[in-house]
Structure 1
Amino acid sequence: MEKILVIGGSKGIGSAIVLQQLENKQVFNISRTTPEISHPSLTHYKADILVDTLPEIESIDALIYCPGSINLKPILSLSVDDFRNDFEINVIGAVKVIQHYLPALKRGTNPSIVLFSTVAVKLGMPFHASIAAAKGGIEGLVKSLGAELAPTIRINAIAPTITETSLSASILRNDRMKENMIERHPLKNYLKPNEVAQMADYLISNASASISGQIFRMDYGLVSFKI
């Protein structure tokens, strides 16, 4: 049975990924809160990946790093600590986890890593300076590690548009705001967690064996089209 390690699998996209992977894989989850999902193939470790010692796992076939942040403010309202905190959550946490579990990945079968960026790296968006800067670091990390770890380990990133999770609740807090967000996207929708989970599943599968160092923009046309 394949072994999948999910970081931040208790909520949102991470929870959707855990639920999907439990269908036929052994899943390890590391997060500060316990997932609502209970399953014989799920092992949960309660930890803050930025400060706590990470648990040892002998071998894993895929690592999916889900923690992120939405910190939308004008540049003059963003403190240096805002930038530092977003970078810590999104980039330093991913680096710490990859460094720790690289030996376990090398013992896995066709191992791969999936990280998360945002459409705001490709498409300039007001009030996204801090998170876009942090996720830009993620995209650079994917490119660099894709080259460094080849041919043993593949690494890719998903860059979603806004996704209906607790993290985006303030942006999608009423029907009018949801309708406005739908209209903003050329394909007239925004993402649900299970859609992103399906992309993550593809990227850790043998079906994507030829793909590494790529950023997959799930944007409902937001970045690609002007209609």
Structure 2
Amino acid sequence: MNDLRFDHRTVLVTGGAGGFGSQTCRTFGERGANVVVADLNLEKAAEVAAELPSAVAIQMDVTDPESIEAGIQAAVEAFGSLDVLVNNAGAPNRGGPIEDTSVKDMDWLFQINYRSSVLATQAALPHLRASEIGSIINVASISAKRPRPGHAVYCSLKAGVEGLTRALAVELAPEVRVNSVSPVIAETGFVKNATGQEKLTDEARASMVAGIPMGRPAQTQDVANAILYLASDLASFQTGVCLDVDGGRSIS
């Protein structure tokens, strides 16, 4: 389907070496995009880029404004344009009571989960406005609507990402579309960061899946497909959409 092709278009994915990020890079790459895999871990980013027909890996620390600026510039230098920005980078806090969340942890969570999307948007905007299809997709979380105990700061910041998406959609239209996806839990490196476990135990998995009507966690491809759609010509009239990729958790 030509509406889902991205030939001669450049897509930058922050956190591009992670679970959702790497699958998003592959999905765009399969559809002809020039892909910029931006990640703090340059070695892993290079491994993802090596899988794709047209891709480069760049090191980007999304908590560092200068690193973001340099990464956006490197992307444009590599392919001559920037058409789609996927603000995917993010991280949870280890679950625990709000009274045990330090100021240092709060500041770090703010920088990586919210501020990074603002800074990357600022840096990318001149290039996105010059594109015929300028588009931003932010990765929020279904926890913005259905929070779990022990992650108050993370959940509220992801709610902020959804609010940012709507606000930017109004501000940047019609030149640039801004949408977001809100995934439910998936068995990626995110789980290790949130729980301290390499993999979910059977008991923990059953507990999480119990609240998902579709009866399973999200797969990375589920999220990549949603991002691809929102960036595509099929969604050319969609802006300010916060798309739940949650198997129904938000309505259960």
Q: Please indicate, yes or no, whether the TM-score normalized by the shorter chain is above 0.5.
A: yes
- Contact kept, 8 Å, 1:91 with 1:135, in 2: the verdict is yes
Question: Which position in structure 2 is the counterpart of 1:74?
Answer: 97
Matching residue within 41, 54, 57 for 2:70? 54
Question: Which residue pairs with 1:42 in the alignment?
Answer: 55
Q: Match of 1:218, as an amino acid?
A: V
Q: 1:149 is matched with which residue?
A: 172
Asked whether the 8 Å contact 1:6–1:28 carries over to 2, the reply is yes
List alignment gaps of at least 5 residues for structure 1. Answer: none
Report the TM-score when normalising by structure 1.
0.93
- Report the AA paired with residue 164 of structure 1: E
Instruction: Provide the C-alpha distance between the structure 1 equivalents of 2:153 and 2:187, rounded to a whole number of angstroms.
Output: 21
Alpha-carbon contact 1:82-1:130 (below 8 Å) kept: no
Asked whether the equivalents of residues 38 and 60 of structure 2 are also in contact (C-alpha less than 8 Å), the reply is yes
Q: Deviations over 1:14-72 (max 9, x none)?
A: 00001111111111122111322203401111121322242311421110011111112
Give yes or no for contact 1:5–1:28 (8 Å, CA) kept in 2: yes
> Does 2:133 correspond to 1:117?
no
Letter in 2 for 1:180: S
What number of residue pairs does the alignment pair up? 225
Tell me which of 179, 183, 186 is aligned to 2:206. 179
- Aligned twin of 1:10: 17
| Residue of structure 2 in register with 1:223 after alignment | 250
The two structures, once aligned, show a CA RMSD in angstroms of: 1.5
Contact map agreement 1:186 1:221 (CA 8 A) in 2? yes
Equivalent residue for 1:137?
A: 160
Which residue of 174, 178, 183 corresponds with 1:160?
183
**Which range is displaced more, 149-158 or 23-32?**
23-32
Equivalent-residue separation in structure 2 for 1:49 and 1:89 (angstroms): 6
Identity of aligned residues (%): 28
In structure 2, what is the Cα distance between the partners aligned to 1:185 and 1:22?
A: 30
Give 3-state SS (helix, strand or coil) of 2:70's partner.
coil
Please state which structure has a larger fraction of its residues in helix. 2
Distance 2:134 2:61 in 1: 24
Q: What residue is the counterpart of 1:106 in the other structure?
A: 129
Q: Secondary structure at the match of 2:210?
A: helix
4+ residue segments displaced more than 3 Å: 169-172
Report the TM-score when normalising by structure 2: 0.84
Provide, for residues 173-226 of structure 1, a one-character-per-residue CA deviation record: whole Å limited to 9, x for no partner.
22332233222312211101111000000000011111111111111111112x
Query: In structure 2, what residue type is equivalent to 1:149?
Result: L
Of 229, 234, 242, which aligns to 1:202?
Answer: 229
Q: Match of 1:22, SS?
A: helix
Closer, same or farther: CA 69–103 of 1 in aligned 2, 3 Å: same
Give the residue type in structure 2 aligned to 1:22: G
Whether the 8 Å CA contact 2:41–2:59 is kept in 1: the answer is yes
Segment of structure 1 superposing worse, 72-81 or 14-23:
72-81
| Distance in 2, Cα, partners of 1:40 & 1:184 | 39
